[in-house]
Amino acid sequence: MSIFCYKKIDASKNLGWELKTIRENIHLTLDEVVKKTNVPLKYLEALENNRFFELPKAKSHRQAYVRELCILYDLNFETIAYKFNCEGGLKFLSKHYLPKIDPNNLQPFSLFIRNFALISFVFLFIVYIGWQIHGIITPPKLIVYSPIEGQVSNRAETTVQGETDRESQLEVNGKEIKVNEQGKFNDVILLSNGVNTITLSTTKKHGKTTIVTRHVVVVVKVPVRVSINKNLGIEAVRP
């Protein structure tokens, strides 16, 4: 229900005049009132001079300031609030008001965000450079699954399997072996009877090399040829 005020107010006895008169009668300065009520000085001056447009835009704030003065001056809040409303103190105001954001108040926060972003960029750059340097000075990996060291075989060939860096160049006994996209390799090499040395080397584009050596012993049974000697009989002859 709307409240209509038809009473003609004497400008010399409006709410501001009343608040100022009471304050002076109890011998309080504006600064003393500020200390006792925590109402900012500029808002006390606005109230005593009926310049309500200078008060905060939130209805709750204006009512809170008036209530603090009523407590200090021993006044009836409902009566003063009614007069305050009639004189336009609460006119066209919402109960909850969101004040405009002052761009100047955002400067410290903006400065923090900018410095944080700069520090993060420098940190990531250092990490990236460190990772690149580590990649340059670290030799490529070379894991050989087959053959195992000291393997004995009865076949004149063996499978060479393993894993290395996919960007590296792999050679087995000086022969280049292809590496797939995952860095794995699989190839068959020929061996000779006896001890065979297999040397695997992988080289990065920056020149670092890793070498792995395997020894495989091949034992191939040689077939026996039989010949007949007329004088001596049967004789076993090996090639």
For 11-86, which CATH superfamily applies? lambda repressor-like DNA-binding domains (1.10.260.40)
- Kindly tell me if the per-residue pLDDT of 97 is higher than 50: no
Sheet of strand 142-146: strand arrangement: 142-146, 157-164, 184-190
**Residue 166 pLDDT grade (very low, low, confident, very high; cuts 50, 70, 90):** confident
Name the nearest CA neighbour of 168 among 199, 132, 140.
Answer: 140
pTM of the complete model: 0.41
Quick: pLDDT tens for 61-88: 899 999 999 999 999 999 998 998 888 8
Compare 27 and 100 and report the one with higher pLDDT.
27
- Find all residues with CB under 8 Å of 139, minimum gap 6, and list them: 204, 208, 209, 210
**Residue 128 pLDDT grade (very low, low, confident, very high; cuts 50, 70, 90):** confident
**Residue 7 pLDDT grade (very low, low, confident, very high; cuts 50, 70, 90):** very low
Residues in the chain: 239
Give CA angle at 112 (111, 118), nearest 5°: 90
Residue type, 210: T
78: tokens are 């409902």
Q: How far apart are alpha carbons 71 and 148 in whole angstroms?
A: 95
| Mean of per-residue pLDDT scores for the chain | 82
Q: How far apart are alpha carbons 122 and 128 in whole angstroms?
A: 10
Q: Are the C-beta atoms of residues 197 and 213 closer than 8 Å to each other?
A: yes
Q: How far apart are alpha carbons 142 and 63 in whole angstroms?
A: 79
Q: How far apart are alpha carbons 52 and 83 in whole angstroms?
A: 13
Q: How far apart are alpha carbons 38 and 32 in whole angstroms?
A: 10
Compare 10 and 161 and report the one with higher pLDDT.
161
Q: Are the C-beta atoms of residues 144 and 161 closer than 8 Å to each other?
A: yes
How do the residues of the chain divide into helix, strand and coil, expressed in percent and rounded to 5?
40, 25, 35
Compare 235 and 221 and report the one with higher pLDDT.
221
Lowest mean pLDDT among 6-20, 96-110, 121-135, 188-202: 96-110
Name the architecture of domain 142-218: Sandwich (2.60)
Q: How far apart are alpha carbons 164 and 184 in whole angstroms?
A: 6
DSSP H or E run through 19: helix 15-25
What are the residues facing 203 on neighbouring strands? 169, 209
